[in-house]
Amino acid sequence: MEQRLNAEQLDAVTSTEGFVRVIAGAGSGKTRALTHRFAFLVNELGILPQNILCVTFTHKAANEMRQRIHNLIGDQDTGYINTFHGFCVSVLQEDGYALQYPKSFLVLDNSDIDAMLGIIYEERGFTLRDMPYSKARDMIEIQKLFKKPEYYLDMVDEMSLDVLYEKYMSAVGTDDIIFYGYLYQQKKCFGLDYNDLIKFTLYVFSRNEEIRLKWQKRLEYIMIDEFQDIDSLQYELMTVLCGYHGNLFIVGDPDQTIYTWRGANVKYLLDFDKQFPSVKTILMLKNYRSTPQILTAANSLIDKNRYRIKKELLPILPDGGPAVFHFAKSAEEEAQWIAARIRDLRQSGTAYGDMAVLYRAHYVTRPIEEVLLKEKLPYHIYSGVPFFGRAEIKDALCYLRMVISQDDLSFRRVVNIPRRNIGRRRMEFLEKYAAENSCTLYAALKRTLDDDIFKGTKAVRFVQLVESFSPDFEKRTVSDLLGALLDESGYEEMLRTEGSQERLDNLAELKQSVYEYETTCGEEAGPADYLAHVALFTNSDAEDTSDRIKLMTVHAAKGLEFPCVFLCEMNEGVFPSRKIKDLMGMEEERRLAFVAMTRAQKRLYLSGAEGRNLDGSPRYPSRFVLDIDSRLLEYDGKPADGLIKEAREYIAWNEKYLPENLEELLLPEGTRVRHPYFGEGTIEGIDTGKGAYVIRFDEMPTPRTISFRVKLETDRS
């Protein structure tokens, strides 16, 4: 063992008693240390596997760890190697009787919850306009989170189905009706959602000392991987479980905290020594994954974060090629540059399967996919659907086709999206009429609109929509036609009602592709021409082979590594995301970029593109590229000095008005100010969420909300 582990790894493996914290940098061999520590406990100390709990955050990671440990200890019994939720299932299967839950309780996923919501909505006459399912799920979780746990746990534990049903039927207000209806449906099928698993386990432990002590005594050694991703409930569970033996080993990297949006709190790792003063801290910084050129660039980037443990990854591998940054003239040229580099790598002997294209969000893949398909370069999208294969993109294109050709395929796809009450019975009627009269389904609908079967439907509106655009579609631009169709059909409104922001982002990217197509093709860019053009990308004929380029989001790439990595669309508003509104969110975005860069083993390529966003604003290079010492990057198409200067000014302006940076700049309530146009007034309120003052001006009868960005003069200025 000693020959296979470095000094820090060996220290982590053999430090078995008490509280141990390992700060493990990317590529430093933390999984090796964890698995060898488990083997050391079993093989050298004689600890039984069933008395060890090893927790990680994904089922895939747990399965991989289980297999590695099995190979090291040669025992089919590998103890409790699981996710937090998986471990809680084991507890509740064994001791759920304390809640009158059977061993065969159901674990509910989002589709199960949505099915329950569908029952509630139908019973109480709700629609998605009252509350989209995604919002209802969030509301239920918030209700459970902010009401004392005993409030709903006692209720689910002690109340009969009849009492729960009575509370559900007597509830008033949308939130309470859905909340109590959900609790009733849960208990009816003995179902628990993911967060319930931990809450119910803690509830059992808090109410039954005998059960709690049994598990505390059983788990003599506890190890937790990816500790930077732990949330408050998981932290509470961990604290309870280690309360008897006091043997807790945690490993994580604060620079790889990228899940705060789902509750992760890096402070649990950073402040672990305050909670457990006797902790031993081990730093594992030797990186066995990436070349020195990749690591120095990544270190330079992450060093710009304020809230972290200061450290630098130490390269073990020999020198490799430089980290390269390319800033193209357009998104299409950026994609062509990536494809050219892929061809170069392939010709030099690198397999397609050794290359990964990473990005911040799925909607940015469209130009990449277009070029890869055109160049016949094989690829596969992980944790996502190819851009032109996504439902909302197909729907939008079918609306265009309905205006142009009224074909049956498009008709079937969009006639009832959004819902127009044209279901199976009415479709069978249309199919029969079309077959008997040798016409299209759309023609059949037009001819039979007055039939009683279409009373109470929106069939007339659908026909009016198509007929209003069809006669003169050639006189309109594609972008104008597509925008109007998505608006007047109610399609975009439907997505907004459902709360489907990712799908709306994809439609925005489709509109961007249409705009770029029109810009490139000029007068020939008619709607029919565009559909012929895009058909090249919807009918993917890329070779189906396992040796394919991998396309995935950075979040999906967490924990993986690839010989060659392309990190694309490194533009402000994309990476970092335009949705980031505070300093902590920006630091998480920077950590996400750091995670992306440290996935690369031998070659790292960063790229972005200039041009214009849909709102007309210029596209700037990402601040994360500008964060990296320019001496550590090789520029293949560097942004113009004027654009870089403009980008830095834009970034500085935005950072100045992040809430955390505003405290020293804000004027207090009651301050007398002078506005360049409205004159003198008094600050009556401050809204940091909106980034604005509420000011009552002397010459105006009502107050105005004025952005922090407007320069206000004071007597002291």
Residues known to be catalytic: 30-31, 225-226, 256, 599
Angle at 647 between CA 605 and CA 650, to 5 degrees: 135
Cβ atoms of 359 and 568 closer than 8 Å: yes
Measuring CA to CA, which residue among 564, 637, 593 is closest to residue 355?
A: 564
Strands (E), 308-410: 314-315, 323-328, 355-359, 379-381
Residues 85 and 227: their CA atoms lie apart, in Å, by 15
Q: How far apart are CA 484 and CA 706, in angstroms?
A: 33
DSSP-derived letter for residue 523 is G
Query: For residue 618, is the peptide bond before it cis, meaning its omega torsion is within 30 degrees of 0?
Result: no
Angle at which helices 209-218 and 232-241 pack, to 10 degrees?
A: 80
Please state at what angle helix 84-95 crosses helix 194-207, rounded to 10 degrees.
Answer: 50
Buried b (16+ CB within 10 A) or exposed e, 542-557: beeeeebbbbbbbbbb
Maximum CA pair distance of the chain?
85
CA distance linking residue 30 with residue 711, whole number of Å: 51
User: Do residues 258 and 286 make contact, with C-beta atoms less than 8 angstroms apart?
Assistant: no
Contact assessment for residue 571 and residue 331, using Cβ atoms and an 8 Å cutoff: no
In order, the DSSP letters of 57-77 are S-HHHHHHHHHHHHHHH--S-
Kindly state the tokens that stand for 588. 């998480």
Which of 165, 170, 196, 192 minimizes the C-alpha distance to 181?
165
Q: State the distance between the two ends of the chain, measured CA to CA, in whole angstroms.
A: 68
| Long-range pairs, 426-430, Cβ under 8 A, ≥24 | 426/453, 426/454, 426/457, 426/459, 429/453
**Rounded CA gap, 235 and 238, in Å?**
5
